[in-house]
Amino acid sequence: MKIRLTTLPTLVLIMAFLAALPAYLAAEEYSSKGADTCLMCHKAAKWGVMPIFKTKHGSQVDQDAPFSNMQCEACHGPSNEHAKAKKKSEVHPKITFSEDSEVPVTQQNEVCLGCHESHNMGWFGSRHESADVGCASCHAVHEERDPMFDPLTQQETCFQCHQSNRAATFKPYGHPLRFGSMACSSCHNVHDGNSDFLLVEDNVNDTCYSCHAEKRGPYLWEHAPVTESCSLCHEPHGSNHPAMLTKRPPLLCQQCHSASDHPGEAYTSEDIGGRTNSRFLLARGCMNCHSQVHGSNHPSGSSQMR
């Protein structure tokens, strides 16, 4: 028998094809009864999946909801192999969602973004995407109430990575996160990398103005750093100084003001008691007189005193 030059590669290729085929077929097979296959085991309370039927994901009416089409496998992918496996802990569904999953985070997130398409707008290349944060790292879709939608439970999730910000909520002066009156998402849009610091608005000041609109002005006599960034003087996550200032006046102000006479004077501990200079140091320091530090609309307010 004459062996042609092309025969050997053909055989190799056929073998490769056959080798790939079982894995391909096995990986792509859906379960025979959909969610009923999964829930045979996973309806037990310890798995914590049944509350999903009290959420939007569990709807069988909304055509975009997982349970109106591929049910569990809409998110977890074809899972027949897992269903049939004797040792189920060794054969996982095609997609599993956790930080320990063998499935790359990008692939996990693609499942979510496949339906929540609007989040694609700022997600790719954003700080969280770069850090391989999975949707499931924060969101718990099987729970009756996703913790990310409650201000108190949301911050606990954020603090798992942003530990210093948890401590900051206990500082003497801060926003009311620990009371649940604000959430991290009041200021941050963690899905959008187009804004600075993943803020809800495009820059720091616009974010602050969404609650503190009185600071927007424009004022007749503007205070220059205020227009540039509120964070030049304030530490929004919490501070050791009143009004979340980064320092205490007069030193805060003296970082920029050193004109002759009282702005440039040294105010030392010896000025605490009774001397003339105490008026520039005690109580609110410079702001005893210059109370309009965010700007003044008074024609005589050029020194931010009116």
Partner 1 sequence: MKRHTKNKLLVALSASVLLPFSTPILAEETAAPDMSKWVCKLCAISGGWFGEWELGLILVDQPTPRFADYRGLDDEGFYLKADGNARYLDEKGYYFDFYSRNLGLDSRMLDMRGGKQGSFELRAGYSEIPRYLGYGTVTPYLGVGTDTLVLPEDWSISGGNAFMAPTSLESKRKTLDAGATIKLGRSWRILAEYERQTRDGTRTFGGGVFPFNAAMFPGPLDYTTNLFDVGLEYAGKRGQARLEFSGSEFDNGFSSVTWDSPYARGFGDEVSRSALAPDNKYSRVSLAAAFRFSQRFKVSGKAYMGKAKQNVAFLPYSINPRYEDRELPRQSLDGKVETSMYNISGRAYLRLADRLDLTAQYKKDERDNKTPIDIYSPILLEVSSSDPRSNRPYSYDRQKGAIELRYRPTYNIRLNAGAKRTKLERTYQEVRKNTEDAYWGELQLTPWAWLDARLKYEDLTRDSSEHEQEGNYDRAEHPLMRKYNMADRDRKRFALQFDLSPAERLGVSLSYYKTDDDYKNSEIGLTEGNETNFNLDINYAFGKHSTVYGFYSRERIKSQLAGAPKPAATPWNSSTDDKIETWGLGIAGRIDDKTTYGVDYVKSVANGNILTETGDGEPPFPTLYSNLQRLQLSLNHKFNDRWGFGLNFLKEEYDSSNWQVDGFGPLDINGVLTMGDVSPEYDAWAMSVFATLNF
Which residues, 35 to 74, sit near partner 1 by CB under 8 A? 35-36, 39-40, 43, 50, 53-54, 56, 58-65, 67, 70-71
Number of DSSP helices (H) and strands (E) in the chain, helices first:
14, 0
For partner 1, the closer of residues 85 and 152 by Cβ is 152
Task: Find the binder of partner 1 among 84, 153, 216, 293 (CB under 8 A).
Answer: 216
**Interacting positions 89-118 with partner 1 (CB under 8 A):** 94, 100, 114, 117-118
Nearest approach in angstroms of CB 158 to partner 1 is 13
What letters, b where the CB count within 10 A reaches 16 and e where it falls short, cover 97-130? beeeeebebeebbebbbeeeeebeebbeebebbe
281 binds partner 1 (CB under 8 A): yes
Nearest approach in angstroms of CB 225 to partner 1 is 6
**Interacting positions 1-30 with partner 1 (CB under 8 A):** 6, 9-10, 13-14, 16-17, 20-21, 23-24, 27-28, 30
**Interacting positions 226-255 with partner 1 (CB under 8 A):** 227-229, 232, 240-241, 247-248, 251, 254-255
279 binds partner 1 (CB under 8 A): yes
263 binds partner 1 (CB under 8 A): yes
289 binds partner 1 (CB under 8 A): yes
Task: Find the binder of partner 1 among 48, 88, 179, 197 (CB under 8 A).
Answer: 179
| Chain center to CA of 10 | 53
282 binds partner 1 (CB under 8 A): yes
Q: Residue 47: CB partners within 8 Å, gap ≥ 6?
A: 41
38 CB burial (10 A radius; 0-12, 13-18, 19+):
buried
215 binds partner 1 (CB under 8 A): yes
Q: Residue 305: CB partners within 8 Å, gap ≥ 6?
A: 289, 290, 291, 292, 296
The conformation of residue 110, written as its DSSP 8-state character, comes to H
Could you give the C-alpha distances from 42 to 37, 45, 52, 89, 234, in angstroms and in order? 9, 8, 12, 13, 50
292 binds partner 1 (CB under 8 A): yes
Dig out the tokens for 20 from the structure.
């790939």
> What does the chain come to in residues?
306
Binding mask of the shown chain, residues 188 to 207, with x at each position contacting partner 1 by CB under 8 A:
-----xxx------xx--x-
